[in-house]
Amino acid sequence: MNTSAEITRQTFDEVIIPTYAPGEFIPVRGRGVHLWDQNNKQYLDLTGGIAVSGLGHAHPELVKTLREQSGLLWHVSNFYTNEPVLQLAKALLDATFATKAFFCNSGAEANEGALKLARKWAHDRHGPQKARIVSFHNSFHGRTLFTVSVGGQPKFSEGFGPLPPLIDHVEFNDIAAIEAAMADDVCAVIVEPVQGEGGMTPADPDFLRALRELCDRHQALLIFDEIQTGMGRTGQLFAYMEYDVVPDILTSAKALGNGFPIGAMITTDDIATYLSVGTHGTTYGGNPLAASVAGKVLEIVNTPAFLSHIRQAGAELRAMLEDIVTSYPEHFSEVRGKGLMLGLLLSEAFRGRAREIMNIAAENGLLVLLAGLDVVRFVPPFIITGEHIREADTLLRKSIDAWIRKT
């Protein structure tokens, strides 16, 4: 095995359980929208750690916050509370519909908490028969057993059964399908306002309004998974604010901590009472380090000027990608998404080949992602500027040209 002095990409294959297939280089340093690898090669990062690093890498105010908090208090467990988590909760609740928060360490865990809360609420308030959860094809809610079962992509749950029962999946954006699926035994409907991993597909406003009405009619809770859409990504602090549909429970993670692991589930006082003392928990949830970073992220992102910058940058990036579709009509068919959560859909003839573009782009110093096999995904840091977008345009065209030459 390699010694610590010889850490290479090969080391990954030797020591890590092979659930990931990381790129061929190892990033060692980041600043703003750029990363550098072990050979000091520079990359323009339009992945933001999968929609996480909204404020970019090594944001000076976040570095300062983390440094200060790390000299004061790291962790005390939930046998005690701490000041940063209370400050974060107050700020998050002031900014949203919610009045109570629960903190954890990841998106999957936030959704796990939301789904457990929905089941517990329904069980205690209506009886054990009200336990069915409705979710959508192509949705993604995390990798715990409950969340892969609720997620609408069977490839993530196959082979891990038996799966938790009473979970139905219906077509996304199909009002007739959800009307047919709803009944009084449904305890919750969970939806991403823009499906991320599933292909960057925004929900229709009428569809979300229909979900709200149907949940009210059948006394079910509406859960918005805003793990990818939230904390500014779509141009609002949370996407529900633009859709004008208020959920009962909302989950956040990813950009909330800008890379410091944290997840949050927020809800109303009434619903929150059903998770009474001892019913749910996690050792690290809301620890002072994560909470102080997230509090600073929220302070920076949640201003009208910053959110307007995200909308402006999103419009510029979209225009750049639409020009790509115009330039390469044979290869790309559409730009999808909202704000700084955008996808470039491959045309029918080239479906399944997004990874090839991602790999060539990385060779050319441009980091982009996939959303499934047919969509090249762009979820850059919010601090991206017009200059970065022009740099991305040049690198992306160079990469697409190289890809076309190879095809």
Cβ distance to ligand PLP smaller for residue 57 or 141: 141
Quick note: the x/- pattern for ligand PLP over 252-281, rule CB under 6 A, is -x----------------------------
- The pairing of beta strand 341-346 with beta strand 332-338: antiparallel
Site for ligand PLP in 131-190 (CB under 6 A): 140-142
Is the distance from CB of 363 to CB of 293 less than 8 angstroms?
no
For residue 194, the minimal CB distance to ligand PLP (Å) is: 9
Residues that contact ligand PLP, how many (by CB under 6 A): 15
- Written as one string, the DSSP assignment of 339-402 is TTEEEEEEPGGGTT-HHHHHHHHHHTTEE-EEETTTEEEE---TT--HHHHHHHHHHHHHHHHH
Least distance CB 138 / ligand PLP (angstroms): 11
| Of positions 193, 196, 259, 343, contacts ligand PLP by CB under 6 A | 196
Identify whether 398 is a catalytic site residue.
no
Phi-psi region of 82 (alpha: psi -120 to 50; beta: other; left: phi over 0): beta
Stretch that binds ligand PLP, among 4-12, 102-110, 281-289, 343-351 (CB under 6 A): 102-110
3-state secondary structure of 309: helix
**How many other β-carbons are positioned within 10 Å of the β-carbon of residue 247?**
30
Residue-wise DSSP of 172-230: TT-HHHHHHH--TTEEEEEE-SEETTTTSEEPPHHHHHHHHHHHHHTT-EEEEE-TTTT
Q: Is 399 in the site for ligand PLP (CB under 6 A)?
A: no
307 binds ligand PLP (CB under 6 A): no
- Candidates 36-44, 103-111, 123-131, 322-330: pick the segment binding ligand PLP (CB under 6 A): 103-111
Residue 301 in the binding site for ligand PLP (CB under 6 A): no
Q: Applying CB under 6 A, does 225 fall inside the site for ligand PLP? A: yes
Residue of the chain from 35, 89, 98, 108 that contacts ligand PLP (CB under 6 A): 108
Closest CB to ligand PLP among 108 and 310? 108
The answer to whether 225 is a known catalytic residue is yes
What is the C-alpha to C-alpha distance for residues 300 and 277, in angstroms, rounded to an integer? 33
Q: Does 393 bind ligand PLP (CB under 6 A)?
A: no
- Enumerate the H helices of 218-265 as residue ranges: 240-243
Strands (E), 236-368: 249-252, 263-267, 332-338, 341-346, 366-367
Binding map of ligand PLP across residues 308-347, x = CB under 6 A, - = no contact: ----------------------------------------
User: Which one of the spans 4-12, 158-166, 192-200, 285-293 is the region binding ligand PLP (CB under 6 A)?
Assistant: 192-200
| Structure tokens given for 402 | 């190289």
Residue 17: half-sphere exposure toward Cβ, Cα within 13 Å:
1
Classify 14 as helix, strand or coil.
Answer: helix
Least Å distance, CB 139 to ligand PLP, is 8
Q: Is the peptide bond before 162 cis (omega within 30 degrees of 0)?
A: yes
DSSP one-letter code for 287: -
32 or 196: whose CB is closer to ligand PLP?
A: 196
Query: Could you say which of 37, 45, 225, 374 is catalytic?
Result: 225
Interface positions, 27-66, toward ligand PLP (CB under 6 A): 50
Binding site for ligand PLP (CB under 6 A): 50, 106-108, 111, 140-142, 192, 196-197, 225, 227-228, 253
Catalytic residues: 140, 225, 254
